[in-house]
Structure 1
Amino acid sequence: MIRGKFITLEGVEGVGKTTNLAFIKEHLEKYGIPVVVTREPGGTLLAEKIRHLLLDANSETVTEQAELLMMFAARAQHIKHVIEPALAQGNWVLSDRFTDATYAYQGGGRNMKVSTIEWLEHFVQGHLRPDLTLLLDAPVEIGMARVRNRAVIDRFEAEKVSFFERARRGYLLQMELHPHRIKLIKANQPLVEVQRAITETLRILLR
């Protein structure tokens, strides 16, 4: 059986990942491609429990080290029980965030050592990397304006603008380091233009 493709969708808060995740799934299915949609942190029962702990704005203060380790603990479960089995069965996996988010949020936002993240990435993932990463990018103030309209704000969404500026720079740095894999989609365009750009980029894999 031909192994499936692994696509990830990245970006800071409010750039439209949820809307475009659904669009990508529908687009791929038009080609008869079986798609498994998942998210990080999350994707399995245990990983979703870790997600709740990470996003709970009312829990005890989470240290930067604990946050990083919990992200990778959830990822280990996600890879073992969802991503790898789906790819092996020939499904394409579409994930709302993956390890680039850790480089952006914990590396950039929290100013944690990139070397530590790299070590954990190799330890948890082995050789697994996305085949394509779509980075939805927009000025932070645009995304945060959308977030403020949400009924409930989680622990990350409550961070200061400066945190998200650092996270955005972290994402852009990842794109510079991995231009063959990470493709920039300007998310401050009208939705129809965003999705046109996504469709064009997906042709890389649909060939």
Structure 2
Amino acid sequence: MTGAGDTRPIAEPVEGLFVTFEGGDGVGKTTQAALLDAWLTGVGRTVVRTREPGGTEVGVLIRDIVLHHRGEVAPRAEALLYAADRAHHIETLVRPALARGEVVIQDRYLDSSVAYQGAGRVLGRDEVRELSLWATGGLLPDVTVLLDLDPASARERLDADDKPFDRLESEKEHFHARVREEFLSLAAAEPERFLVLDASLPPDELAAAVRARVEPLLA
């Protein structure tokens, strides 16, 4: 319920299912999203796979700025760019898919902004969260899968990929430690929405746990 002075938009009801994957870089979000997509498609559900930033044509341009721009991007500008991507993405892709009764599987959402910009950039959890809620009209996922892994192990995985690091992946270990702590704090505050999994477990075991959480919601 919003208070008398709260001007944040109230989320409109949706018919589909909204599942997001969160966690630090290198934890296996893309792998688990793909496995969930394959299973849902196999049981006859229409799935929309997307990501933030970069789930739309506008988002691709913003993604290039926030992750690959060679110059400096001020922390507050970074947070606003992510929010702009999110506002356009939800309005033009996610809400229409949910209205059609489809399952949206998304790699990163507002929890990433709270963790990376709110905690990692030290801009403040509440400020960044409120910005994203305003940008999206208050839309929250039905399930958020948090793949948890210590930053050192995640960095080993990224090193093994032998790909250039983006701006966030290149941050120091203490940055990623703050991000991880914030993700876990968010999950503890909303246990009904979050499914926290140990990302060091085998992919098939993780996928089974995700399916067990999502399956009852398909009815």
What TM-score range do you get, normalising by the shorter chain?
over 0.9
Identity within the alignment, %: 38
* Residue correspondence of structure 1 range 1-207 to structure 2 within 5 A: 3-56=15-68, 59-149=70-160, 150-207=162-219
Q: TM-score, normalised by structure 1?
A: 0.94
Distance 1:22 1:115 in 2: 31
**Cα offsets for 1:147-206 (capped at 9, x unmatched):** 112321111111111111100011001101111001101111122222222222223423
Aligned length: 205
Which segments of 5 or more consecutive residues in structure 2 lack a partner in the other structure? 1-13
Q: Name the stretch that deviates more: 142-151 or 65-74.
A: 142-151
Q: State the secondary structure of the residue aligned to 1:180.
A: coil
**Greater mean deviation of Cα atoms: 186-195 or 136-145:** 186-195
Q: TM-score, normalised by structure 2?
A: 0.89
RMSD: 1.3
C-alpha distance in 2 between matches for 1:177 and 1:121: 17
Contact 2:22/2:107 (<8 A) preserved = yes
SS state of the match for residue 133, structure 2?
A: helix
Question: Hey, which bits of structure 1, 4+ residues long, moved more than 2 A?
Answer: none
How far apart in 2 are the matches of 1:123 and 1:156?
A: 24
Aligned amino acid, residue 178 of structure 1: E
Question: What residue identity is the alignment partner of 2:186?
Answer: Q
The unaligned stretches of length 5 or more in structure 1 are: none
Between 143-152 and 94-103, the greater mean CA deviation after superposition: 143-152
